[in-house]
Amino acid sequence: MHSENLIIVVDGGASGCRLAAFDNNGQQLADAENGPASLSLNTEDSWQHISNGLSSLADLLGNSADWQPEFLYMGLAGTQQDSRYQHFLSLIPKQITPCIITDGHAQLLGASDGKPGVCLAMGTGSVVNWLDQHGNSGHAGGWGYPMSDEGSGAWLGQQLINSYLWYRDQSNANKHTVSRSTAFSKLESVIGTSVSEVQLWSTCSSSTQVASLAPIVVDSASHGDTLCTDIIARGAHYCIQLIGLAPNQLPVYVAGGLAEPYLPFIKRHYSDRCKSVAGNALNGLYIYATQHATLKI
């Protein structure tokens, strides 16, 4: 396949990276997945995972194992910290021209089909991005776990662990004030029950690892667990606050792995503005590639 006719894109976050090859008509020809590619976690690992993904993509496209694209359009988490960003750039082979935006902006372009709008991206992290009618863009949130990213997958996992720790302490002191959540048994099957096992998680600062617990919260909430429904409701409050920081009157899109549990809350608050997403971050990067060859925003 003629690689010069392909547009290669990468959507990278704390839970993994996705790569895709598009033709000039916007048709997705192949896709691949690999490990986390958030620069906030580790720049070397991020490039290695992207490089591995490119190898998988080359195989799917029928190209040689050492194939590399001339241009690589990436929407990555953690790109706004300059030293990490510059170090990441230094890892990319010289024959590749990198074109990088944030993962949140890529998600916005995909969700709105490149048109003006507000996109709340809720995954391992949380961020809101917007593009107004005059072409002005902005964002809020996305500062990173554990100090920010409220409502995100990492935040949900953190809240579940925190509640579990309080429950254990109350149990040991025979001073229970709440009943045992059904989510705690699911949590214990993952993190263990001994003090040593649990403390590996209570002191964990990896957003990827803590966010892996988010499905427990979402699933338990869907089955009526009071603790988890409360956690989801508090997360939704942060979602609504983030959207409120964007310009008014723009269409609102909610994307990411946690869009589904939060959408009912957001639709109640922004009922007249909520729209269905047109595409994902990979689609957004294709749109970006057709409009901005080598800009970083």
147 located within any domain? no
Residue type, 4: E
Residues 261 and 287 in one domain: no
- pLDDT at position 175 is 77
Residues 180 and 284 in one domain: no
Which CATH number goes with the domain that contains 99?
A: 3.30.420.40
Tell me the pTM.
0.91
Tokens of 15: 């839970």
Residue 191 has pLDDT above 90, yes or no: yes
Residues 93 and 171 in one domain: no
Residues 208 and 228 in one domain: yes
Residue 295 has pLDDT above 60, yes or no: no
Alpha-carbon distance 33 to 178, whole Å? Answer: 42
Q: Where are the alpha helices (DSSP H) in the chain?
A: 43-61, 82-91, 103-112, 153-172, 183-191, 195-202, 207-211, 214-222, 226-244, 259-269, 281-291
Cβ distance 142 to 238 under 8 Å?
no
Sort strands 71-76 and 28-34 into parallel, antiparallel or unpaired: unpaired
Q: How many other C-beta atoms can be found within 10 angstroms of the C-beta atom of residue 149?
A: 25
Residues 282 and 246 in one domain: no
129 located within any domain? no
Contacts of 62 (CB under 8 A, 6+ apart): 1
Q: Is 34 helix (H, G, I), strand (E, B) or coil?
A: strand
Q: Which helix (H) or strand (E) holds 32?
A: strand 28-34
120 located within any domain? no
Sort strands 28-34 and 17-22 into parallel, antiparallel or unpaired: antiparallel
Report how many domains make up the chain: 2
Which domain does 11 fall in, by range? Answer: 3-113+278-291
- pLDDT at position 3 is 57
Tokens of 66: 């050492």
Q: Give me the residue label for tokens 């620069």.
A: 39
82 located within any domain? yes
130 located within any domain? no
Integer CA distances (angstroms), 3 to 10, 70, 72, 275, in order: 16, 8, 12, 35
pLDDT tens digit sequence for 223-249: 999 999 999 999 999 999 999 999 999
Residues 18 and 97 in one domain: yes
Please give the mean pLDDT across all residues of the chain.
94
Residues 199 and 247 in one domain: yes
Residues 108 and 164 in one domain: no
Residues 217 and 286 in one domain: no
- pLDDT at position 4 is 62
Residues 157 and 265 in one domain: yes
Residue 297 — very low, low, confident or very high, per pLDDT cuts 50/70/90?
Answer: very low
Residue 293 — very low, low, confident or very high, per pLDDT cuts 50/70/90?
Answer: low
Residues 165 and 105 in one domain: no
Percentage of the chain with pLDDT > 90?
91
204 located within any domain? yes
pLDDT tens digit sequence for 103-162: 999 999 999 999 999 999 999 999 999 999 999 999 999 999 999 999 999 999 999 999
> What is the DSSP annotation of 202-260?
HT---HHHHHTTHHHHHHHHHTT-HHHHHHHHHHHHHHHHHHHTSPTTS-EEEESTTHH
Residue 220 has pLDDT above 70, yes or no: yes
